[in-house]
Amino acid sequence: MKKSVPKFGYMSISSYVCSVIRDKDMKLGLVRMSGERVIGVQYFESKFSRELGEILRINGVEWRVGVIAEDRNSIIKVLNEIVRIQNSIVRKKQRELDREINNQINQMFLDAYKSVMNY
């Protein structure tokens, strides 16, 4: 039994591969940014070829292509890691701010106590 070889006609093998790839939806991980801060992430399938860093507008909201992969699960893992890192940064900054505020409040109480006790 003879194997049939696909006939490309005038199409080169590389353009055939590109056309086959284009037939599949491109799986993307989108990231919504505000300055240096991550506001949101979402999984998205695009019918068009996209590149990392490209900006998409979905319902008037700007999203940046942050992840391109073959399957949905690997994209979701990376997006979850992005959110985990961002949350860690936000919590660290909040702890520093809380510590500073607590120090100021403690100093105010100490000053008030000293003034009442006439030190």
pLDDT digits (tens, 9 = 90+) for 40-81: 999 999 988 899 999 999 999 999 999 999 999 999 999 999
pTM: 0.66
The answer to whether the beta carbons of residues 44 and 31 sit under 8 Å apart is: no
- Asked whether residue 11 carries a pLDDT value surpassing 90, the answer given is no
Rounded CA separation 25/14 (Å): 19
Which band of pLDDT confidence, cut at 50, 70 and 90, is reported for residue 119? low
- Only one residue has tokens 């000293």, namely 114
Asked whether the beta carbons of 45 and 26 are under 8 A apart, the reply is: yes
Is-contact 68 26, C-beta < 8 A? yes
Confidence of residue 6 (pLDDT cuts 50, 70, 90): very low
Token couple for 117 = 């006790």
Pick the residue with more confidence: 111 or 118? 111
pLDDT of residue 65: 94
Average pLDDT, the chain: 84
CA distance 5 to 34: 52
Q: What is the structure's pLDDT at 84?
A: 94
